[in-house]
Amino acid sequence: MLKYTKVSSKMASLLKASSNVFRSEKLPFLSRGKTRQDILPKRAAFRLVPIALSLSMSTGTVQHDQKSNSPDIAIPIMVNSCTGKMGKAIIKAADSAGLHIVPVSFGAEKESGQTVEMCGKEILVHGPSERESILVSVFQEYPNLVVVDFTVPATVNDNAELYCKVGVPFVLGTTGGDRDQLYKTVEESKIYAVISPQMGKQVVAFLAAMEIMAEQFPGAFSGYSLQVMESHQASKLDTSGTAKAVISCFQKLGVSFDIDQIQMIRDPEQQIEMVGVPEEHLPGHAFHLYHLTSPDQTVSFEFQHNVCGRSIYAEGTVDAVLFLAKKVKSKADKRIYDMIDVLREGSMR
């Protein structure tokens, strides 16, 4: 939510407090009125703010079924970490879009040999020791293959090196790892890839708008202080890549802020009581709040986006696969893309 309003004395005192105070009070994080009313006087609650921009969604209603009219139904897609909730969501979205699900996936050593049944397919999981030989074999059988990687931060660089060595185009939504080395590896291999820490279409559009604002109005928020809170499921171990991208834009806009100042919330009890995450979405959500305050504390801005579920990311991933397959087929000069490239080309279904 973007707000432009006079700051109440209570808000002013809250902004001066340490991050520990945020953990003990209700946070202005979600669109639940009761949490925000604990912070702002009633007449300043979000419903009455003159200017507001918010992005809040539950992704369970996002559905596409384009099997009958998609020209890309022959694209084979290999989804690694298919035993995870994100992997399963991607398989479901890809099947709905008419893509061909390759019945092979990579997982942890303890998952090797497991079979995952999804969308009428039995997908065999292979452990790390088999990866290279299996990928070479699959790529020979499916020369138009696109690999999708939503694994864990610790495997980002090793996985990318494997895809580049074999020569397989890939879509990488996993955050973390050594990003400089990641891009260096892909650039040197000249493999086609979409690399993006954020696959949600609407969130990508918000990031694009932030980047435009930062480029065209550098220093617009000079002197402002920034507070950032992000809440994700407990299984997400690293700091949100989306939060890092938004903070980078604010830094270009003149705000001084270090990544280690981000307040990461991973405790389910805090997520329910402080953030307002619906209990049924504790296993999969992404709630972000960016609060800016003027030097004299008379003006504040808030940017907020809340996502429940995973289908928004799965749908965006399928769009990225379709986009990348077209780039490979056309032998485009550019090889490395992100979701903003996908968005700018109008490749969102």
Question: Which residues have a catalytic role annotated?
Answer: 232, 236
Closest to 231 measured CA to CA, from 176, 153, 286? 286
User: Which H helix or E strand runs over 79?
Assistant: strand 76-80
Which residues does 223 contact at the CB level (< 8 Å), separation at least 6? 254, 294, 295
User: Cα(254)–Cα(181) distance, rounded to whole angstroms?
Assistant: 28
78 beta partners: 147
Provide the token pair at 249: 């834009």
Please answer whether residues 319 and 349 qualify as being in contact, where contact means their C-beta atoms are separated by less than 8 angstroms: yes
CA torsion, ordered 254, 260, 266, 272, to nearest 10 deg: -40
Tell me the CA end-to-end span of the chain in Å, nearest whole number: 26
- The DSSP call for residue 310 is S
